[in-house]
Amino acid sequence: MGGRKIGKSIEVFCCDEDIEFLGEFEGNDWAIVLDGDVEEIGNQISENVLFKEGKDCDSIKGVLVKNELYSKMKSILKKKMGNILNKNPSKKDIINPEFRSSLWIKKIDTLEEAIELTKLNEHGLSISIFDRNNKRALDLAKRLNFARTIINSDTLDINPLIPWGGIKKTSYGGAEYWVNKFVNKRLIEIKK
């Protein structure tokens, strides 16, 4: 549906007209980078952000990067994305990024820090985890509150089993029929 303003206007219209609907609008998808080929991951994240100028519900808006990979990742993203990279995000940037090509990057020291930061995210459509250690990535995925977690690929890697609608502020359903029909499931993918 696009951004929150358009999504809310569609929601109001549907309510006024007694139209059943399931609305999915705006996103705040993130990536967590723990280990891997930093250049390849940086290229993939850049392509994701620049695709549709960041105006896609599953465009990555923020990256949490393990401390030892941060400098290299920041350099790669800066080269690919120029001035749209925010290297020092405020809490507002993290919670409510603009619905356009933009990306913030933040250094993390521990998995617990990453988990705590994801709790600030009011949206819940998708998150990517990049890690050579699939067990650690899978354990982390199980602790995050997102409808869809993708391991070792980005959030535009569409799978037909995607839980339609996301969770939290990402979407709102109308009638009970749609809630039952599109119950949020969790999907965890590992790309090889």
pLDDT at residue number 57: 72
Q: What is the pLDDT of residues 115-155, one digit of tens each?
A: 999 999 888 778 999 999 999 999 999 999 888 899 998 76
Residue 49 inside a domain? The answer is: yes
Residue 114 inside a domain? The answer is: yes
pLDDT at residue number 93: 80
Residues 6 or more apart in contact with residue 59 via CB below 8 angstroms: 27, 29, 48, 49, 51, 52, 155, 156
Q: What is the pLDDT of residues 79-117, one digit of tens each?
A: 998 888 888 888 888 887 776 678 899 999 999 999 999
Residue 20 inside a domain? The answer is: no
CA separation for the pair 47, 60 (Å, rounded): 10
Residue 181 inside a domain? The answer is: no
Residue 109 inside a domain? The answer is: yes
The per-residue DSSP string of 66-135 comes to EHHHHHHHHHHHHHHHGGGEESS--HHHHHS--SSS-EEEEEESSHHHHHHHHTT--B-SEEEEE-S-HH
The domain in which residue 64 lies consists of 27-168
Q: What's the structural domain count of the chain? A: 1
Token pair recorded at residue 2? 């696009």
DSSP state of 175: S
Q: What is the pLDDT of residues 50-60, one digit of tens each?
A: 887 766 777 88
Residue 191 inside a domain? The answer is: no
Residue 48 inside a domain? The answer is: yes
CATH number at residue 73: 3.40.309.10
pLDDT at residue number 82: 85
Residue 178 inside a domain? The answer is: no
